[in-house]
């Protein structure tokens, strides 16, 4: 864990960072983002003591880094910057193996690890190990920068706007590779960017900075859905969530009060409930609100009005988990050719109902909001 405790930083008697407190859990991918001069790179560099706070302390695994030897600290933290910082007079192999060799790691294991890591980022070891940085493209150099940071076997990787100088296609490709590597290796990554789309695409948590303080620290989903202030809303862009439909969940677009009843109701009672609520179907739940089935008006056999609907209801119905995203919901409804589907939680308890009308209503409300803001 990385902990910032009451960190302040002054330059020329001006506060750049002011009473900053933040905890980063092991394995988190935390993105620091904010306008120029907000202190994001300053905070990043404090973790490996490239910047020293004016006051406060930074802890790694509960140990104050001011008490750790600086060289030892940096050898155990990976660091990737915009221009990669590769040594131009060293080959790819020499750049990657430099720190592990200084740490006295086994040479054979190091060579094998080097080849494995290069393969992970799409570089053929046979082709690239003995090249010099000037013989690589910008994207290839950045990949080598990743590998060099990972080769230290560090649990913490610091990344300072590593993709900002790359073309959009290379940048997107490297973002995807970094995300996949993080999912596999579970490193703790602290990543600085000025690009909100990049932050959303990569971060498990995003820390939005304002004048050296935290404006909001949360998951991308929560920041998009519930910005903590007008500053955050303006910074991320109003209605940005509609550019990221994977963050729009079934629970955000469902009707929360679907008409339901118990399986012990008679046919006549079910018919009356439908008539009074002006619906042609009922969701069937037990006393624990667990979804058991559905019955439609067509299924009601009115000639046997005292019969229990549990004998007539459809038990095998399409249902949607409340955390299913909008794209998956639409895909499922189109594939199944259905106009509505009940929404349940992980325990199969009924939470709501999605209909094509509820989806259209949500989208319409968004379009109206865009018009008003425009």
pLDDT at site 53 = 92
The yes-or-no verdict on residue 361 having pLDDT over 80 is no
pLDDT-based confidence at 116, cuts 50/70/90? confident
Q: Which residues contact 165 (CB under 8 A, 6 or more apart)?
A: 82, 83, 138
pLDDT at site 367 = 46
Out of 94-103, 111-120, 281-290, the most confident range is: 281-290
Q: How much is the average pLDDT of 245-268?
A: 86
**pLDDT, tens digit, 9 for 90 and up, residues 117-169:** 888 778 888 888 889 988 888 888 888 888 888 777 788 999 988 887 778 88
pTM, 2 dp:
0.68
DSSP conformation class of 245: G
Q: Where are the domains of the chain?
A: 2-247, 251-362
pLDDT-based confidence at 374, cuts 50/70/90? very low
How many whole angstroms separate alpha carbon 155 and alpha carbon 159? 13
pLDDT-based confidence at 57, cuts 50/70/90? very high
The yes-or-no verdict on residue 370 having pLDDT over 50 is no
Give the lowest-confidence range in 154-158, 196-200, 274-278, 361-365.
Answer: 361-365
Q: How much is the average pLDDT of 235-254?
A: 75
**pLDDT, tens digit, 9 for 90 and up, residues 295-316:** 988 888 766 778 888 888 999 8
Question: Which tokens go with 349?
Answer: 């308890």
How many whole angstroms separate alpha carbon 138 and alpha carbon 84? 9
Long-range contacts from 218-226, C-beta under 8 angstroms, 24+ separation: 220/244, 220/247, 221/247, 224/200, 225/252
How many whole angstroms separate alpha carbon 291 and alpha carbon 239? 33
pLDDT at site 363 = 67
**pLDDT, tens digit, 9 for 90 and up, residues 37-49:** 888 999 999 999 9
Long-range contacts from 335-344, C-beta under 8 angstroms, 24+ separation: 341/317, 342/258, 342/283, 342/291, 342/294, 342/317, 343/250, 343/251, 343/254, 343/319, 344/291, 344/319, 344/320
Nearest to 19 by CA among 36, 5, 40: 5
**pLDDT, tens digit, 9 for 90 and up, residues 221-239:** 888 888 888 898 888 876 6
pLDDT-based confidence at 371, cuts 50/70/90? very low
Tell me the backbone φ, ψ of residue 239, rounded to 5 degrees.
65, 20
Helix (H, G, I), strand (E, B) or coil at 319: coil
Q: Report the percentage of the chain scoring pLDDT > 90.
A: 31
Strand 55-60, strand 63-64: pairing: antiparallel
The yes-or-no verdict on residue 208 having pLDDT over 90 is yes
Q: Are 370 and 336 in contact (CB under 8 A)?
A: no
pLDDT-based confidence at 84, cuts 50/70/90? low
Strand ranges across the sheet with 260-261:
260-261, 281-285, 291-296
The sign one gets for the Cα dihedral 155, 160, 161, 167 is: negative
CATH 3.30.830.10 for the 251-362 domain, yes or no: no
Q: Which residues contact 162 (CB under 8 A, 6 or more apart)?
A: 80, 81, 82, 84, 142, 145, 174, 191
Angle in degrees, CA 108, 181, 235, rounded to 5: 140
Residue identified by tokens 């649990």 is: 155
The CATH code of domain 2-247 reads 3.40.50.300
pLDDT at site 27 = 92
> Across the chain, which distance is largest between two alpha carbons, in Å?
90
The phi-psi region of residue 6 (left if phi > 0; otherwise alpha if psi is between -120 and 50; otherwise beta) is: left
The yes-or-no verdict on residue 22 having pLDDT over 90 is yes
């Amino acid at each position: 864990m990385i902990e910032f405790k009451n960190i302040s930083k002054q330059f020329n008697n001006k506060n750049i960072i002011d009473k900053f407190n933040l905890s980063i859990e092991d394995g988190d991918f935390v993105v620091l983002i904010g306008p120029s001069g907000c202190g994001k790179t300053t905070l990043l560099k404090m973790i490996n003591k490239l910047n020293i706070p004016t006051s406060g302390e930074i802890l790694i695994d509960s140990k104050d880094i001011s008490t750790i030897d600086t060289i030892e600290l940096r050898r155990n933290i990976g660091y990737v910057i915009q221009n990669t910082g590769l040594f131009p007079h060293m080959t790819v192999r020499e750049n990657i193996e430099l720190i592990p060799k200084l740490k006295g790691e086994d040479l054979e294991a190091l060579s094998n690890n080097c080849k494995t890591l290069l393969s992970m980022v799409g570089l053929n070891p046979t082709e690239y190990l003995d090249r010099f940085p000037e013989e690589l493209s910008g994207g290839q150099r950045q990949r080598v920068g990743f590998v060099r940071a990972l080769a230290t076997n560090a649990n913490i990787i610091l990344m300072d706007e590593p993709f900002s100088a790359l073309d959009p296609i290379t940048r997107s490709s490297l973002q995807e590779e970094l995300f996949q590597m993080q999912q596999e290796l579970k490193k703790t990554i602290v990543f600085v960017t000025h690009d909100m789309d990049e932050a959303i695409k990569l971060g498990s948590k995003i820390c939005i900075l304002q004048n050296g303080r935290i404006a909001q620290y949360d998951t991308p989903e929560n920041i998009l859905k519930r910005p903590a202030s007008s500053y955050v809303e303006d910074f991320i862009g109003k209605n940005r969530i509609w550019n990221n439909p994977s963050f729009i969940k079934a629970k955000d677009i469902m009707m929360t009060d679907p008409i339901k009843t118990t399986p012990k109701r008679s046919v006549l009672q079910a018919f009356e409930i439908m008539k009074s609520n002006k619906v042609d179907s009922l969701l069937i739940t037990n006393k624990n609100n667990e979804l058991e089935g559905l019955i439609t008006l067509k299924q009601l056999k009115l000639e046997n009005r005292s019969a229990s609907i549990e004998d007539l209801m459809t038990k095998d119905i399409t249902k949607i988990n409340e955390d299913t995203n909008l794209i998956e919901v639409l895909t499922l409804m189109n594939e199944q050719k259905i106009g509505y589907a009940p929404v349940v939680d992980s325990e199969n308890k009924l939470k709501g109902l999605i209909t094509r009308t509820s989806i259209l209503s949500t989208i319409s409300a968004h379009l109206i909001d865009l018009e008003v803001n425009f």
